[in-house]
Chains A and B, each alone.
Chain A
Amino acid sequence: MSDFSAIDHGREAGFGDYVQLLKPRVMSLVVFTAMVGLIVAPVPVHPFVAFTAILFIALGGGASGALNMWYDADIDRVMRRTRSRPIPAGRVSEGEALGLGLALSGLSCVMLGLAANWFAGAFLAFTIFFYIVIYTMWLKRSTPQNIVIGGAAGAFPPMIGWAVATGGVAPESLLMFALIFMWTPPHFWALALFMKDDYSKAGVPMLTVTHGRAATRKHILVYTILLAPFALALAFTSIGGPVTLAAAVVLNALFIRGAIRIARRDEVAAEADGYKAEKAFFRLSLGYLFLHFGALLVETSLMPFGLGGW
């Protein structure tokens, strides 16, 4: 290739662009929750196998991020927030993102199967399928409940972590799933209230647009109330204990209080103080999930000293 033709490709991708395709920020949540699921499981896992398993679960999450960016490139070009992503910005082609996503999906599922067990590998494959085919391709653009269904994909990682250790599913892992699944809608709808993204222009039916912002506020409250029993139930399982119960009581009380505040406000009040309550609720929701899973970790680490658990 001559230097002239090389200079023509001035927008050629660097390594960082491919990393960006894997949605590293989403990956951090996947890594943390999968790690907790693996550590709190009753079957010990060799540290290197555990490290490898988490790595490939994260890579599987990244692969679904790349496939999501491939399929949603048309939406990403329209929305201000996503316009600088590698595909809309023209640094990576759609075909490259599809290829990378498919290759990493295959690699991560097979490697997880080899490192841990084939149930965990198949579970990761199902999670990628669910996120891409069920959520991204089908429901995201056809129902305002898209966030609810998409939340399931983000809720699977602790179950995969648990499956790495035990090779199966248990009430404890189902409750960890339920915690993230029920937490996702209020978390995202709070964001949707103050981010005011141009979803309608992109043809994505967001609840704030289809049912209005007042209905979204009520939805946040309903989901927050429905979330609390799952968080409390998790504290009474074999992986829970006094620390988890205390965390669940305090965090859910704060979360419900925040949701009531949001439900009682209207747009005029929210705009007057720059969406203060909505932003505070969103920040709290991040701490809510982190501290809940952190409490489970504390419980497990106290058990050798006869302190954690019931």
Chain B
Amino acid sequence: MEKMPKKYYAFFTLPTMIAFAIAFFIPFLLGIYLSFTKFRTVTNSQWVGLENYIHAFTDNNDFLNATIFTVKFAIVSVVLINLFAFSLALLLTRALRGTNIFRTVFFMPNLIGGIVLGYIWLLIINGILINFGVDITYSAKFGFWGLVVVTNWQMIGYMMVIYIAAIQSISTEQLEAAQIDGANSWQILKNITVPLVMPAFTICTFLTVSNSFKLFDQNLALTNGAPGRASSMLALDIFHTFYGTFGYEGVGQAKAVMFTIFVAIVVLLQLRISRSREVEI
């Protein structure tokens, strides 16, 4: 169907697009505009040019620290989550007993929301740290590794399920042919399994990169940025700038614009790099 009468086209697309305009598109454009103004409410704004963007860096180091913290966190979690998820997927595709139960267990934390997850682990991490007379707010390092543990616990199962599906879709003929040719299991893994699950690798890195950069709920529940703002990630820092600092709405919006550009660049780069490594057999 190449053409559709206008009234039908409207019937199919308008409900979604009106909601999209209200929830996303208009707020997005308005947000860009407001980042160049000083405002308390949307209707009461005053053009200030790039002032907000300058303030985001000069008033304090929160935004810069949050950026560094977020990048470090994203690198560590993306690597660990994918490494663990892929290893588990390899183990669980070897036709052992109990495979299904293990898969069920490993996946489950993913359904629990970030706030609840954060408080579950806050209890456990503080329970361990109390033996050393401190708690998670003592140092940003504790907050950092706490967040790494929480997101690993949450996302390993999800990525594992995707890797399992990819590994299972490799045809047994290819594996058998390699075995007949005398390849050992390391060679099979390196030369057949890994290249063939590259598309799954692309999607899993995409999901973990974008989730790690946008992480908010777990950060709020686990440390709320403590000590001070030292364990704030970008999303939480922007939230605090908006709602925690009087008169900083414009700066918060400017930070949000930079955050958006940053995430967009990272995600597009990641997709480009890992797509280029996919092969077709």
Q: Are A and B co-members of a single complex? A: no
